[in-house]
């Protein structure tokens, strides 16, 4: 059976090479991966809604109000699946894709296809306060990566197909094809050329058509703009931009802060227990934190804040508008906490939709404060709810164009384009200045594995330090005589530099051939001087574990050296030469540009 399958694939490859050009094949592949990513997104949504509906029909949402204990059950099921079935660490969806693009030539494992399809619905369906967009994008990316490998697509086109799958997934979930394309460009730092734009368009179209076919015109956010933009409200949108920027910085700081807080708990069981209890407590006081939160957004857009907030211990005080405002602001504060706690406890999901929930709550709060301040001002609460979402997306993800076009598309028009641009731009500029890297990219930037729109930096991030380390340098000891060095080392080496190490393999200096050239032919000096007499320290050291390729290049530039020693685990490991580094860089740049 396997042999027949291999023969069929071989015949398909031969037919493709003879009859289909590479460009046309990429177009066909982009349609296919957009379709498959759309199917994955629809599957994720349906599985999650099935779990939620099953729980709602039981005792969970009965008069006993036991829903706040359910997330720990979902987290336990995820833990059992990962431990006994998946048997691999489940990394953050978009970050894992970016790492695969920069360090693995766009290669993703098969487990990344079905892992999120199982764990994300269990997390979100049982009330974990995360979103489905990240897992949908990860599944689509893994499908396109393995599809590309099956059809022998090169690394550059494989990366393009991963971006296409991401566009297809987003177009399917939000039914917003333009925002899907822009997301792929902003988040994956894709060069927007005609060679990349057309595949993205085709993938986005096939993704949204898949959604229409299976779900009809049903949308996650069902709202059309009712109030037009008023110029007199411009200052308030500026205030909202500043507010969403502050909230974005808080969101990012809280995310990494809570993850650090859970780090001392080495056992996943302890993280699950503590995280599950914490989520349950938050859900008891703030029910809208349960699950993704699209119902909360839709209720706010319709002006029904009572339904949006649900049953809380503060129901007796809901007639006081300032209690309502305080509860809504509590959602703004605690959505980031609940989301990150879900991740820290072992849940699987995305940050995009929690960002929208937090932004909608903040925008609604700002509008209610303005309308109830007693100063005679009135603004559209639904518009501020929408634009608050855009401000948080722009600030948290550093994706202002995605934010603008997504909100414009899901509301069915561009009537709010000006306030969207004002708020998103202000939020992005302030948050980007305060937090250089977003949640997706911060850890990747630390290890030099971040792809950006800067082609030079991207090429450096895709280079591996192992590819440029040379190990054929003869080691010497500082107590060796000149004669011993010449006969035992120099005569047997093709290099002109010699690392001086001790018995523990620690590098204590280096000797250049030029350092001994003046006396190397004077045999009377052979037994009188030692290596230590000529040894000097290296102008700089490269640390294998911590130095990125960008840092390596910078060290060569600052030191002016042609060879620099590499230290691994505190021991001498080899050398990197400037010539080999630049040669490797040029080759990678050529391959990247093809």
pLDDT (tens digit, 9 = 90+) per residue, 301-326?
A: 888 888 888 777 777 777 888 989 99
Mean pLDDT of 141-154: 84
Q: What is the pLDDT of residue 531?
A: 83
pLDDT at 218 over 80: no
CA distance 346 to 324: 32
Mean pLDDT of 531-560: 85
pLDDT-based confidence at residue 461 (cuts at 50, 70, 90): low
pLDDT at 62 over 50: no
Q: In this predicted structure, which of 97-111, 297-311, 548-562 has the lowest mean pLDDT?
A: 97-111
Q: What is the pLDDT of residue 594?
A: 46
Percentage of the chain exceeding pLDDT 90? 28
Q: What is the pLDDT of residue 411?
A: 81
If one compares 337 and 215, the residue with the highest pLDDT of the two is 337
Mode of pairing for the β-strands spanning 571-577 and 507-512 = unpaired
The string of pLDDT tens digits covering residues 575-585 is 988 888 877 77
pLDDT at 405 over 50: yes
DSSP string, 571-587: EEEEEEEHHHHHHHHHH
Angle between helices 234-262 and 352-371 (to 10 degrees): 140
pLDDT at 9 over 80: no
Q: What is the pLDDT of residue 386?
A: 92
Q: What is the pLDDT of residue 342?
A: 93
Burial letters 435-463, b for 16+ CB under 10 A, else e: beebbbbbbbbeebbbbeeeeebbbbbbb
The string of pLDDT tens digits covering residues 328-381 is 999 999 999 999 999 999 899 989 999 999 999 999 999 999 999 888 889 999
CA distance 390 to 245: 11
If one compares 545 and 594, the residue with the highest pLDDT of the two is 545
CA distance 398 to 386: 18
CA distance 423 to 235: 10
Coil vs helix vs strand at 308: helix
CA distance 239 to 366: 9
Q: What is the pLDDT of residue 489?
A: 82
Q: How many CA atoms lie within 13 A of 282 on its CB side?
A: 28
Secondary structure letter of residue 85 according to DSSP:
I
Query: In the chain, what are the domains?
Result: 2-215 (1.10.3080.10), 231-452 (1.10.3080.10), 457-593 (3.10.580.10)
527: tokens are 């037994």
Q: What is the pLDDT of residue 64?
A: 46
Instruction: Find the Cα–Cα–Cα–Cα dihedral 204, 210, 212, 218, rounded to 10°.
Output: -90
pLDDT-based confidence at residue 456 (cuts at 50, 70, 90): low
Mean pLDDT of 418-443: 89
203 CB neighbour count, 10 Å cutoff: 37
Q: Decide if 522 contacts 478 (C-beta within 8 A).
A: no
Closest by CA position to 115, among listed 96, 138, 131: 138
Closest by CA position to 202, among listed 61, 78, 24, 330: 24
Q: What is the pLDDT of residue 366?
A: 95
Mean pLDDT of 485-504: 85
Mean pLDDT of 116-144: 90
Q: What is the pLDDT of residue 219?
A: 66
Q: Decide if 397 contacts 368 (C-beta within 8 A).
A: no
pLDDT-based confidence at residue 436 (cuts at 50, 70, 90): confident
CA distance 237 to 291: 29
If one compares 355 and 60, the residue with the highest pLDDT of the two is 355
Q: What is the pLDDT of residue 104?
A: 74
479: Cβ contacts below 8 Å, ≥ 6 apart: 530, 531, 532
The string of pLDDT tens digits covering residues 267-311 is 888 899 999 889 988 888 888 888 888 888 888 988 888 888 877
Q: What is the pLDDT of residue 188?
A: 78
The string of pLDDT tens digits covering residues 468-477 is 888 888 888 8
Q: What is the pLDDT of residue 368?
A: 94
pLDDT at 166 over 80: yes
Mean pLDDT taken over the chain? 84
Q: What is the pLDDT of residue 237?
A: 95
CA–CA–CA angle 548, 552, 553 (5° rounding)? 120
If one compares 438 and 587, the residue with the highest pLDDT of the two is 438
CA distance 158 to 170: 19
pTM here is 0.77
């Amino acid at each position: 059976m396997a042999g027949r399958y291999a023969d069929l694939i071989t015949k398909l490859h031969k037919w493709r090479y003879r009859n289909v050009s590479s460009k046309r094949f990429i177009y066909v592949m982009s349609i296919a991966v957009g379709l498959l990513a759309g199917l994955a997104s629809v599957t994720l949504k349906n599985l999650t809604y099935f779990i939620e509906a099953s729980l709602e029909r039981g005792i969970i949402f009965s008069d006993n109000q036991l829903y706040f204990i359910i997330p720990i059950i979902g987290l336990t099921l995820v833990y059992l699946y990962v431990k006994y079935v998946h048997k691999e660490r489940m990394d953050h969806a978009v970050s894992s894709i970016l790492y695969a693009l920069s360090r693995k030539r766009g290669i993703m494992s098969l487990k990344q296809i079905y892992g999120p399809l199982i764990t994300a619905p269990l997390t979100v369906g049982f009330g974990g306060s995360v979103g489905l967009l990240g897992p949908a994008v990860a599944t689509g990316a893994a499908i396109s990566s393995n599809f590309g490998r099956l059809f022998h697509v090169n690394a550059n086109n494989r990366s393009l197909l991963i971006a296409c799958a991401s566009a297809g997934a987003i177009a399917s979930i939000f039914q917003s094809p333009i925002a899907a394309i822009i997301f792929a460009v902003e988040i994956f730092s894709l060069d927007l050329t005609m060679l990349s734009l057309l595949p993205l368009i085709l993938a986005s179209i096939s993704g949204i058509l898949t959604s229409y076919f299976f779900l009809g015109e049903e949308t996650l956010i069902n709202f059309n703009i009712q109030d037009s933009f008023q110029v007199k409200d411009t200052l308030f949108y500026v205030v909202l931009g500043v507010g969403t920027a502050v909230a974005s910085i808080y969101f990012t700081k809280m995310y990494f802060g809570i993850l650090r807080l859970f780090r001392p708990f080495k056992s996943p069981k302890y993280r699950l227990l503590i995280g599950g209890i914490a989520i349950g407590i938050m859900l008891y006081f703030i029910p809208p934190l349960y699950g993704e939160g699209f119902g909360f957004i839709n209720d706010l857009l319709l002006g029904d804040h009572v339904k949006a907030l649900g049953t809380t211990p503060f129901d007796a005080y809901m007639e006081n508008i300032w209690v309502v405002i305080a509860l809504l602001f509590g959602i703004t504060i605690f959505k980031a906490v609940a989301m990150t706690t879900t991740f820290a406890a072992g849940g699987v999901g995305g940050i995009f939709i929690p960002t929208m929930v937090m932004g909608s709550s903040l925008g609604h709060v700002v509008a209610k404060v303005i309308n109830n301040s007693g100063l005679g001002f009135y603004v559209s609460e639904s518009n501020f709810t929408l634009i608050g979402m855009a401000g948080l997306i722009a600030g948290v993800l550093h994706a202002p164009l995605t934010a603008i076009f997504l909100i414009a598309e899901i509301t069915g028009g561009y009537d709010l384009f000006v306030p969207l641009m004002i708020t998103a731009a202000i939020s992005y500029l302030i948050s980007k200045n305060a937090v250089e890297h977003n949640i997706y990219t911060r850890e990747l930037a630390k290890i030099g594995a971040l792809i950006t729109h800067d082609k030079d930096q991207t090429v450096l991030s895709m280079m591996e330090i192992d590819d440029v380390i040379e190990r054929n340098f003869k080691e010497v000891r500082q107590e060796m005589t000149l004669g011993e060095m010449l006969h035992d080392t120099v005569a047997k080496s093709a290099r002109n530099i010699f690392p001086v190490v001790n018995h523990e393999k620690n590098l204590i200096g280096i000797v250049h051939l030029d350092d001994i050239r003046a006396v190397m032919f004077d045999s009377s000096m052979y037994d009188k001087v030692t290596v230590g007499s000529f040894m000097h320290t290296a102008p700089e050291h490269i640390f294998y574990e911590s130095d990125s390729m960008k840092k390596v290049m910078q060290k060569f530039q600052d030191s002016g050296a042609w060879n620099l020693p590499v230290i691994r685990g505190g021991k001498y490991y080899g050398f990197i030469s400037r010539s080999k580094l630049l040669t490797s860089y040029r080759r990678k740049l050529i391959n990247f540009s093809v």
